């Protein structure tokens, strides 16, 4: 039996890498699109904010539990575990940091807003980076 990921050209999964001292509040970006994560994190770091990323939503749950980021920016549509499910899990675990949802699917954004997801904000891709930077800066302060 061959799973989808066995196709030639599928990208290797990148694990969370620790760049930030433990006592520094940071933002965790969770999206299965690694290039997107990298660009967001690069922008935020360039502007002096601590940020890291994880592409595997299950691993992200473990990191959130372990590292307790100050805030998370998480994609709604992910393979395996949806962003909303991740939020639900971490909130049940007692995570009380800031949560931002994002999606490229307007329907998903609308639905999340409509259903009143218990998050700070729901962002629609493409992410407006300057606005994100101001927002994150406020949260991490």
Partner 1 sequence: MTGNELRSQAWIRPGMLQYAAGAGLGAAGYALNLVPADIAFGLSFVFGGYFAFLAVRLLDIGPATLAGAISGAAMYQLWGHPFASVVFALNIAFSAWMFRRVTRVPQIAEVVYWALFGVPLLWAGYRFGLGMNAASVNLVVVKQAMNTFLLSAFASATVYALIRVLQWSRRSSHLVRGRQFSLRGFITILIVAFTAIPLILSVVRATNQDQAQVELRAATLVDLGAAEMRSEFARVRAAHPLSFARAYRDGLVQGAPNLAAGTADAVFDAGAARYRWVDGKPGGEGRHFVIATFNLNDAPDATLRAARLWLPWTLVEREIEHVRSLGSVGVEPGYGRWPRHDVIPVSGDADAAAQTKAPAADAERRGIVLPDLPGKSLMQRWRAGAVFREVRFPEATDTPFVVHAGLAPQIGTLETSLFDTMLVATLLLFATPMLAWGLTSGLVKSFRSLPPRMAAVIDGRPEDATAERPASVFVEVSSIEDTMMRFSEAIARERAATANYRNRLEDAMHASATIFYTMRLRTVDPAFNRLARPDFVSRSVFEVLGYTVGEALEPDWFESHIHPDDMAVLYEELDRRDELLLREGRWRSALRLKNAEGQWRWMSSEMFLPPDAVVDADENTVEVIGVLTDITERKQAEEQMVHAARMADLGVMATGIAHELNQPLDIIKLAATNMAERVKDDDFTKEYVGAKLDLIVGQVMRAARITNHMRLFGRADKQPSTDIDVVGLLAEMSELLDSQMIGRHISFRLDLPEDRPVVSGQTNRLEQVLLNLIVNAMQQIEEMREGLPEDALRMASRITLRVRRAGGWVRIECADAAGGVDPRIADRLFEPFVTSRPEGKGTGLGLSVAYGIVKDMGGRLSVENLEGGATFTIELPAADPVTPPAREAAYGE
CA angle 109, 105, 39 (to 5 degrees): 95
- How far, in Å, CA of 115 to CA of 94, rounded? 21
String of contacts with partner 1 for each residue 105-134, x by CB under 8 A: xxxx----------------xxx-x-----
Q: Does 92 bind partner 1 (CB under 8 A)?
A: no
- How far, in Å, CA of 98 to CA of 104, rounded? 20
- How far, in Å, CA of 132 to CA of 128, rounded? 6
Q: Which is nearer to partner 1, 72 or 133 (CB)?
A: 133
String of contacts with partner 1 for each residue 52-91, x by CB under 8 A: -------------------------xxx--x---------
- How far, in Å, CA of 123 to CA of 106, rounded? 10
Q: Does 104 bind partner 1 (CB under 8 A)?
A: yes
User: Helix, strand, or coil here: 125?
Assistant: coil
Where do contacts with partner 1 occur on this chain (CB under 8 A)? 1-4, 7-8, 32-33, 35-36, 39-40, 42-43, 46, 77-79, 82, 104-108, 125-127, 129
């Amino acid at each position: 039996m061959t799973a989808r990921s066995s196709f030639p050209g599928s990208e290797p999964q990148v694990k969370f890498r620790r760049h930030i001292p433990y006592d520094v509040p940071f933002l965790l970006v969770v999206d299965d699109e690694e290039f997107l994560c990298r660009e967001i994190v690069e922008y935020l770091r360039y502007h002096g904010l601590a940020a890291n990323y994880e592409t595997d939503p299950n691993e992200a749950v473990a990191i959130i539990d372990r590292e307790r980021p100050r805030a998370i920016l998480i994609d709604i549509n992910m393979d395996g575990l949806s962003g909303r499910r991740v939020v639900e899990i971490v909130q049940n675990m007692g995570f009380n940091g800031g949560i931002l949802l994002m999606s490229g699917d307007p329907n998903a954004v609308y639905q999340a807003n409509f259903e009143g997801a218990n998050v700070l904000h729901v962002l629609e891709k493409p992410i407006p980076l300057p606005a994100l930077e101001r927002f994150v800066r406020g949260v991490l302060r």
